[in-house]
Amino acid sequence: MAKTLKVDLVAVEESVWSGEAEMLSARTTEGELGVLPGHAPLLGQLANPGQVRIKLADGQELAYDVDGGFLSVTAEGVTVLAESATPASN
């Protein structure tokens, strides 16, 4: 079984999405960042506007448009704290 990553996507007013994922990708002020299970701890500032993409174990990908905020990677997983987060329109 493939390793997964605990992901929490939180906006100011609500928890937007929480669950297990294979990978999280986000655009930060330093560039595009991909997070896999076992990633080194870090704190990054999200690009404004930006997008967070979550790849699930079944191959499905969720995408959210975010405005401002931070991304925190710890041994427990990834937390995205955004000013706002809405499902991306393709």
User: What is the structure's pLDDT at 13?
Assistant: 85
The pLDDT confidence band at residue 90, using thresholds 50, 70 and 90, is low
Q: Compute the distance between CA of residue 15 and CA of residue 83 in angstroms, rounded to an integer.
A: 12
Provide, rounded to the nearest whole percent, the portion of the chain with pLDDT above 70.
97
pTM (2 decimals)?
0.93
pLDDT of residue 89: 83
Query: Tell me, what's the pLDDT at 74?
Result: 96
Please name each of the domains of the chain with its CATH number.
Answer: 5-87 (2.60.15.10)
Read off the pLDDT of each residue in 17-26 and give the average, rounded to a whole number: 97
- Nearest 10 degrees: CA dihedral of 10, 16, 18, 22? -90
Whether pLDDT at 1 is above 70 = no
As a whole number, the mean pLDDT across the chain is 94
Distance separating alpha carbons of residues 57 and 2, to the nearest angstrom: 8
Residue 35: pLDDT band by 50, 70, 90 thresholds?
A: very high
